[in-house]
Copies of this chain bind each other. A is one copy, B any other.
Amino acid sequence: MQVTKPKYLTMTPPKRSPCPISCTLDLIGDRWTLLIIRDMMFFGKQRFEEFLESPEGISTNILANRLRLLEELGLAEKQLYSNHSRRMNYQLTEQGKSLRPVLKVVTLWGLKHIDDTQIPRSHPTDADRSTESFEATEP
């Protein structure tokens, strides 16, 4: 598979309809994508192995697939951590960060309507890099 340039949201997947809900679900309407975005946004995760550590237990092939899709959608960017390592660095773009209100309202709904849910505690090492709080109200 030969991917040249990241595509943008304007040109990506086939729409089922022009409805904004339907179109949004075409992008992030699955059980994993928002969790990866959560990990980047609230826990400052940036590397493949870090995403694998999340308690939901994503598998490596799904993770690789979703990271590629996020890049193609322009929601995340991939960079080399340093020039002498294979280590990669995934970060949210502005587009990706714009999903914050979505994650927030989903979080609040879950906390209120599903029993035994709680905001995960991040590891100290994760918290160091986390730029945004899970609870914070405003962008």
Q: Which residues of A contact B (CB under 8 A)?
A: 9-10, 15-27, 29-31, 34-35, 38, 54-57, 95, 98-99, 101-120
B102 touching A19 by the CB < 8 A rule?
no
Q: Which residue of B lies closest to A17 (CB)?
A: B55
Given the contacts A16-B55, A19-B120, A55-B16, A109 and B98 also touching, CB distance less than 8 Å: yes
Q: List 5 A-B contacts (CB under 8 A).
A: A9-B113, A17-B56, A19-B119, A20-B118, A105-B105
Q: Which residues of B contact A115 (CB under 8 A)?
A: 9-10
Question: Which one of A9, A24, A111 has the greatest number of beta carbons of chain B within 10 Å?
Answer: A24
Please determine whether B95 and A20 come into contact, CB atoms closer than 8 angstroms.
no
Contacts of A25 in B (CB 8 A): 31, 34-35, 106
**Interface contact B19-A117, CB-CB below 8 Å:** yes
B30, B57, B98, B108: which contacts A113 (Cβ < 8 A)?
Answer: B98
- A74 → chain B, closest Cβ, in Å? 9
Shortest distance from the beta carbon of A124 to any chain B beta carbon, whole Å: 19
A18 to B13, CA, bound (A): 31
